[in-house]
Amino acid sequence: MSSRTLLVSALALGLAACQPAAEAPAAPEAPAAPEAPAAPATPAPPPAPATPVADVAHTGLMVHEAWTRPLAPGATVAAGYGLLMNHGTAPERFVAARAEGVGRVEIHTIESVDGVMQMRPLEGGLELPVDGSARLAPGGKHLMFFEVSRSWAEGERIPVTLVFESGAELVVEFAVLAQAPAGAVEAGHGEHAHHAH
């Protein structure tokens, strides 16, 4: 197992407390559909709320508020965050990702080892039960972009292809933001830390 462990103090920096989500309306590729307040008995088109959302209609997989940070000149490693949701009818598992201009993308988890917070690749990917969600957030599970070929600037949107266990793929635009979007902080550190496989 080639699980490198890396210090994560910079990524685990605390961020502002949760606030009501408010995000710039910019979801060019999401099909517009009225938001459904409750799950109806029959499959419905995926809702398209005001926040940027990537989704696949036939799988019900969605990612809200995908974001990453600007890269300093010369930096080649970045983290990615967002809220993954499964509105489909079958359990899913987020297992891999790729992006143009990025050498590799890993799904990381953070654990305390001998009192030191370390991050390492998440074995088996990220579970998404039916009607469930999983948050990638500072201080918690996150995407890790390695060998990024250029500096991402604030305001850019970086397309990332998320790959799921079923074979479904979802292209998500990660907004490059200097500050975390409101509400994009891990709710309760360590809440999902223990994942037995």
Query: Shortest Cβ distance from residue 77 to Cu ion (Å)?
Result: 8
Could you say which of 71, 119, 172, 184 contacts Cu ion (CB under 5 A)?
119
Query: Shortest Cβ distance from residue 49 to Cu ion (Å)?
Result: 28
Q: What are the tokens at 57? A: 């209609």
Q: What are the tokens at 144? A: 């890790």
Note whether 67 and 180 are within 8 A (CB): yes
Applying CB under 5 A, what is the total number of residues that bind Cu ion? 3
Q: How far apart are CA 51 and CA 24, in angstroms?
A: 7
Which amino acid, 46? Answer: P
Could you say which of 83, 99, 144, 162 contacts Cu ion (CB under 5 A)?
144
Residue 102 found at the interface with Cu ion (CB under 5 A) = no
Residue 62 found at the interface with Cu ion (CB under 5 A) = no
Q: Of 9, 142, 149, which Cα lies nearest the Cα of 80?
A: 142
Residue 108 found at the interface with Cu ion (CB under 5 A) = yes
Q: Which stretch binds Cu ion (CB under 5 A): 94-102, 130-138, 142-150, 182-190?
A: 142-150
Partners of residue 64 on adjacent β-strands: 53, 83
Residue 87 found at the interface with Cu ion (CB under 5 A) = no
Query: Shortest Cβ distance from residue 101 to Cu ion (Å)?
Result: 18
Q: Of 170, 178, 180, which Cα lies nearest the Cα of 30?
A: 170
Instruction: Please report how many Cα atoms fall inside a 13 Å half-sphere around the Cα of residue 57, on the Cβ side.
Output: 8
Nearer to Cu ion, 85 or 136 (CB): 136
Query: Shortest Cβ distance from residue 108 to Cu ion (Å)?
Result: 3
What residues line the site for Cu ion (CB under 5 A)? 108, 119, 144
